[in-house]
Structure formats: C-alpha cells, structure tokens
Amino acid sequence: MKRVVEINLINASTNVPVKAKNHPDFAIKLARRAGRRGEIPVAALVLHNDSVISAASNRVEELRDSSAHAEILALRLAHSRMGNERLEQCDLLVTLEPCTMCTGMAVQARIRKIFYLAREKKIPAAEKILTLDRHGHIPQLIYLSHYAPKAEALMTDFFLALRQVR
C-alpha cells in the first residue's frame, strides 16, 4: 500500500530535484492569476526532466466546462507536446491536492509522481485513491508541506472574497 510522502524542502531537499524547487512558486503565481480571473486558484505543471512542458490554471468558469481543471488542461497539453498518451517520465505539480477526476487522469496518463502544495480539506481524493492497490500504475504522491501556507492562503483568501461579494 502506497502512502503519501511529506517533504519539507528545508529538511529534505535531496528528495526533490534541484530545478524543481522554483516550480512551486511559478505554480502559485499561475494560481493567483486564475483567482484574479474569478477561477478557483489552482494551477498545475507537468514536468519532464525537471523542465516545465505544460502549465495551466483552472478555466472552469471561462470555458463553462466542469472538466477544465488545471490538472486536466496541463495533462492534455503535455500529451500533445510529448506526442504520446503515456507520460511515464513526467511528474505533475499541483497547488492543491487533485480531485478524483484529476487523480484518475494522472493514473491513466501514467504520471510518475504527483507533487501537491496544499491538502484538499473537503474531499481529499488523491490520497485515498492512490492508496488502493487496484490500479496497475500508481503515481507516488508527495506533499510539499513547505509551500502549504502560501497555497492554502490563496484558497482561503479567494473564498473569503467570494463570500463578501455575495
């Protein structure tokens, strides 16, 4: 049974590729931009050899498409750029723990590792789904707790502002 690995980059920097240390900040910037557009502030990056090959943020409201989550959009673009339906040498970095749909797509795409910056408090799907041994391929799930305060603040601030508007 796979478990979630929690990495605090200050204490365990050797567990994360050196180039990948800048990627969480980039993802947070993308998520912040999504929030300014009225989207739930979530962003995703697909990494290949520690380089970003695709990046996306939520576009559910803009596209009027409930599947336009950051992870789905980033994975679709990565498939196109890699010219393959399998992304076995790729990792997914997300500002929020992926939902059931996005976790399923990452499994189907054969993503190697899923890094996430904030835990999903309402429905922590990825952690539950990826501990099941029923899948032929299960990506390693890695919680980058060092970035949690920034990523969680994005979500909290977004929903506080939304409630004040209503």
Strand, helix or coil for residue 134? coil
Mind telling me the catalytic residues?
71
Pair 117, 94: CB distance under 8 Å? yes
Coil, strand or helix at 123: coil
CA separation for the pair 53, 23 (Å, rounded)? 12
Nearest residue to 28 (alpha-carbon basis) of 144, 130, 124: 144
